[in-house]
Structure 1
Amino acid sequence: MAFTRATGKHRRPSKTRRTAGGAAGIAGLATVGVVGSIASPAFAASGGQNHAPLQQNAEVSEAVGGPISATLDEQASAQALRAEQAKAESEAKEAAAEAKAEAKRKADEARRKAAAEKAEKEREAKRKAAREAERAKLNAYVLPVEGSYVSTGYQQGGGMWSSGSHTGIDFHAGMNTPVHSVAAGEVVEAGNGGAYGNNIVIKHKDGTYTQYGHLNSIGVSVGQQVTSGQQIGLSGSTGNSSGPHLHFEARTGPDYGSDIDPVAYLRKHGVKV
């Protein structure tokens, strides 16, 4: 039997086309093979219906969008909480430091104020004591001649006195021994007193008077205020006198004849005679 060639030219596919076709075929077979191998058990179990790819996609989606996302949120929340706690602790420490500093400042101020008040109280106590001492000094009575003693007693008889007795007492004193006012008062007489020689008479706050006679010199004037213990003159032997001494009288009035016991007078006011 004779063979005849069909109309048209028939050529073998080119090498390029053969290669592309072969690659496509292999890829297709691979795809079918892989899918088939994956899907075959599921396909067989489901009676021929293959749902495994959908299930796997859902699980992957859940894993990406579920637990991982929740963990990141929890970590961010924990970090934010720690930051807030750290800030709160820092603020608490600053507040505690400020409170401690303020407490210290108040304590220091309280101590300073207490010390100032104590110092002021001490100063006031000293001022009060000084005032009381001054008042006591003003109201105190002292001996007219410091450290002296009575050499001639009150109302002692003798021809030296015109009244026949001594109207005062004599304190032992050498020439120009300081003579002091026995108490605060006002000078009502200062000058020559006749038989008393140079004499001074002082009126005191209780209304009594004291006289200082036979002075060598007078250091005060009438109307002058004197304090207790103030020097008013110097002892001597002027007037009716047998030698240097101080004639001292206590009186109820400024003049001669109103005399009272000088020793009892001084002792009454706390003077040791």
Structure 2
Amino acid sequence: MAFSRTTTGKHRRPGKVRRGRASAAGIAGVAAVGVVGSLASTASATSAPRADVHDTSLDSVAGASDHLSASIDEQARVQDVQALKAKAEQEARQAAAKAKKKADEAKRKAAAEKAEKKRDERKEEKARAARAGGERTSLSGWVLPVEGSYISTGYQQGGGMWSSGSHTGVDFHAGMNTPVHAVAAGEIVEAGDGGAYGNNIVIKHEDGTYTQYGHLNSIGVSVGQQVKAGQQIALSGSTGNSSGPHLHFEARTGPEYGSDMDPVAYLRQHGVKV
């Protein structure tokens, strides 16, 4: 309870009029506070964001994230396409290289077969020519041992190259692997290593004489074989005691060394031009 002081210094209770005024003032104050509070509440409610309104900044972030994800996916797809394309191109190059290699190999094989066929044809032509020549010359019975050749070293020519001190036959000019022919029909009595003569052949002819062919590179007949005039029997060479490719030719009265006779006179005697 409120008290008021009098001039006499004593306290006394306020009067009814003053109490009434005070009550009215209190009510008015409360009312004012209530109004102010309501206004404040209204303002506060007005300034606060509504629950049903979306935040546009969050929407922007979400959109950017979706765009970035789509861009990454597109880049990945492009890289996959490029990888597949590169792989296809590499496989195509490998296939083309393989096909080219196969084609080149086939081409080389065809060329080799063609060259081989051509060589065989040339050999056959030479063989036919030799057979024809043999048949033609067999009419006379005698031929040169090397067709179209000439004598490079004469008979009984002296020198230290021969053990007897002189040449026991004649040398016909002939390069390596030149065909060597039997000068007349006869029987092979020797075919093989002849010592200083190297690879050699000795033929016994129908008249009882013998011819010998030395320094051969290869021999194409065997002992006991019958041959015709002009028949190829060997290829010239430089085996044995020889300074280079040629044909050593001897005419003999017997099969052994030391029974030699002049081969030029022997061939001319049988109609061969030397």
What TM-score, normalized by structure 2, do the two folds share? 0.50
Q: After superposition, what is the alpha-carbon deviation per residue over 1:92-114, rounded to whole angstroms, capped at 9, x for unaligned?
A: xxxxxxxxxxxxxxxxxxxxxxx
Residue 136 of structure 1: how far off its partner (Å): 6.9
Q: After superposition, what is the alpha-carbon deviation per residue over 1:117-164, rounded to whole angstroms, capped at 9, x for unaligned?
A: xxxxxxxxxxxxxxxx96971651100000000000000000000000
3-state DSSP of counterpart to 1:248? strand
2:88 equivalent in structure 1: none
Residue 236 of structure 1: how far off its partner (Å): 0.1
2:248 and 2:137 map into 1 onto residues whose CA distance is 26
> Map of 1:1-273 to 2, 5 A cutoff?
137=138, 140-273=141-274
1:189 and 1:209 map into 2 onto residues whose CA distance is 11
Q: 1:220 to 1:266 in 2, by over 3 A?
A: same
Q: Which amino acid aligns with 2:188?
A: V
Contact 1:172–1:245 under 8 Å retained in 2: yes
Residue 271 of structure 1: how far off its partner (Å): 0.3
1:272 and 1:252 map into 2 onto residues whose CA distance is 21
2:143 and 2:238 map into 1 onto residues whose CA distance is 22
2:176 and 2:203 map into 1 onto residues whose CA distance is 22
Q: 1:207 to 1:193 in 2, by over 3 A?
A: same
Q: Which amino acid aligns with 1:216?
A: N
1:138 and 1:188 map into 2 onto residues whose CA distance is 24
Q: After superposition, what is the alpha-carbon deviation per residue over 1:24-53, rounded to whole angstroms, capped at 9, x for unaligned?
A: xxxxxxxxxxxxxxxxxxxxxxxxxxxxxx
Contact 1:209–1:252 under 8 Å retained in 2: yes
Q: 1:164 to 1:135 in 2, by over 3 A?
A: same
Q: 1:159 to 1:220 in 2, by over 3 A?
A: same
Q: 1:272 to 1:139 in 2, by over 3 A?
A: closer
3-state DSSP of counterpart to 1:213? strand
Q: Which amino acid aligns with 1:213?
A: G
3-state DSSP of counterpart to 1:264? helix
Q: Which amino acid aligns with 2:138?
A: K
3-state DSSP of counterpart to 1:191? strand
Task: Name the % identity.
Answer: 87
Q: Which amino acid aligns with 2:190?
A: E
**Equivalent pairs, count:** 141
1:249 and 1:264 map into 2 onto residues whose CA distance is 11
Q: After superposition, what is the alpha-carbon deviation per residue over 1:177-209, rounded to whole angstroms, capped at 9, x for unaligned?
A: 000000000000000000000000000000000
What TM-score, normalized by structure 1, do the two folds share? 0.50
Q: 1:158 to 1:220 in 2, by over 3 A?
A: same
1:151 and 1:205 map into 2 onto residues whose CA distance is 28
3-state DSSP of counterpart to 1:195? helix
Q: Which structure 1 residue ranges, 5 or more long, are not aligned?
A: 1-132
1:229 and 1:134 map into 2 onto residues whose CA distance is 8
